[in-house]
Copies of this chain bind each other. A is one copy, B any other.
Amino acid sequence: MSQTASIKDVATHAQVAVGTVSNVLNYPDRVSQRTKERVLKSIAELGFVRNDAARQLRAGQSRTIGLIVLDVGNPFFSSVARAAEDAATALGSVVLVGDSGQDASREAHYMDLFQEQRVQGLLISPVGNVSERIDTLRERGVPTVLVDELADTERCSSVSVDDQEGGYLAARHLLDTGRRRLAFVGTTSIRQVASRLKGAQRAVTEVNGATIEVLDSAGQTVLAGRQVGNKLVERDPAERPEAVFCSNDLLALGVMQSLTMLRTVRIPEDIALIGYDDIDFAISAVVPLSSIRQPTEALGRTAIELLAEEQDSGGTKHRAVVFTPELVVRQSTAGA
């Protein structure tokens, strides 16, 4: 009783064949009421629990879906992850979450892991170049859905938000409220960030005399934001931008901390500030933060839906769903 009982133990105990026990578990209708009861009783008495490894081995596939995100600590991703989990649970699957931390080797590590686990499918916000690996996976019947990244629909499906449009919305809003010398803060090596910048630059070209300066940050965290903010504070006031667009809210909150720390810079009077993602904490910031809202629940849910579509079609049909972001105006970009 100390060790775990197997289906064979249950069969012996209930005096039936192993196949019958299996049927009770998987096709209850095939089994007569009497034996079903007897088997269930034995299962309860022995405390039998299915061995998922054995089941998977036989099935050749797990009921697991792999999800690789750039940072689980980032509310944007944790929200997407939660939505994906809920949707997957409804389909009887489990989501395994891996955090790449924007590190290509960690990303590769998780891909290896998921491949060993024979996951049903993969949802990924890629860091490195993973297209070859995705091709390999597809050949092997493991569909992939890119998350927060537009896919070539020849290869796989994707759910994303129009980052260029989001960048445009943010910059346009800053320009519309009278700011001209803008700064962009973000890790531009990340594709989404680069797109947001591109959108912002487009908005800037539409307005005469507007400029945008790019400040690269070491990551997309609150800490990285604080570092950039400190540099801004050190500058001669005349050299400071009139408005700062951060590629996510964590960065923006970090920048805000630095700027407001010494009370020499006022937000939004001296410098307007806008973030991206509209995380829950944006509204509670020192100065409530304007932001670009992304439909995280829809992203997570749709990712799972597309994965199911891929599976149903045998990995032949791909679809790229693009959501549109939304400007949320708060005090940090109030009147010029």
Contacts and interface: CB of A to CB of B under 8 A. Distances in A.
Given A4-B140, A72-B72, A284-B256, A82 B99 contact: yes
Interface stretch (A44-52, A209-217, A316-324): A44-52
A108 interface: no
A230 interface: no
Interface in A256-297: 256-257, 280-281, 283-288
A16 to B, nearest CB: 22
Contacts of A50: 116
A254 B78 CA distance: 19
A328 to B, nearest CB: 15
Nearest to A257: B284
Nearest to A252: B284
Given A73-B79, A78-B73, A222-B280, A136 B47 contact: yes
- Among A79, A81, A280, residue most surrounded by chain B Cβ atoms (within 10 Å): A280
Given A256-B284, A286-B285, A53 B57 contact: yes
Contacts of A117: 52-53
A118 B56 CA distance: 13
A243 interface: no
B53 A62 contact: yes
A73 to B, nearest CB: 5
19 contacts: A1-B139, A2-B140, A47-B136, A49-B116, A52-B118, A53-B54, A53-B117, A54-B57, A57-B57, A72-B81, A73-B79, A96-B96, A97-B97, A222-B280, A222-B281, A222-B284, A254-B284, A284-B285, A286-B287
Interface of A: 1-4, 47, 49-54, 56-57, 62, 72-73, 75, 78-79, 81-82, 85, 94, 96-97, 99, 112-113, 115-118, 136, 139-141, 222, 250, 253-254, 256-257, 280-281, 283-288
